[in-house]
Amino acid sequence: MSNLNSLRETLARKQAEVANLEQELRAAQAAQFTGLPAQLGLDSIDAVIKALAPHASPRLKGALAKAFGGKLPTPAVVEAPVESEPAPAAKGERRKRTTVTPELKDAIVQALQAGKTASAVAEECGVSPATVNNIKRAAGLTKKREEA
């Protein structure tokens, strides 16, 4: 019985330690977010969000547009340009093909195993959904159809 009590006491100490670490983490994140505008040469978190809005995913851009009354905000001028993906090709033009490296394949497989959809992974990794599905099939992540 004493062994069980000592285990309970140890568990309680560890849970208290985890709670303290979580509180420290939240405080460190808050401090980092508070200092972010100054690091970027902007005056507020709102300015950071406005500067990053054009680089967001289409889904997030839609949500931001709703939040800003129907259209994306004009980004604040940022001294150092943020690296982004190349602009999409104009209608009728072919975009440059993405080289599918083993590292990219691994990232795609990990994202699929994490539960992301093929279309979300394709957008995130800059490849077509067909490429994601081919990699998915090659990795054995698809179910075969049952024969009738």
H, E, C per residue of 78-124: CCCCCCCCCCCCCCCCCCCCCCCCHHHHHHHHHHHHCCCCHHHHHHH
Report how far residue 87's alpha carbon sits from residue 68's, in angstroms, rounded to the nearest whole number: 24
Count of helices and strands (H, E) across the chain: 6, 0
Reported as a single tens digit per residue, the pLDDT across 14-53 is 999 999 999 999 999 998 888 888 888 888 888 888 888 8
Lowest mean pLDDT among 4-8, 36-40, 74-78: 74-78
Better-predicted residue by pLDDT, 36 or 62? 36
pTM metric for this prediction = 0.37
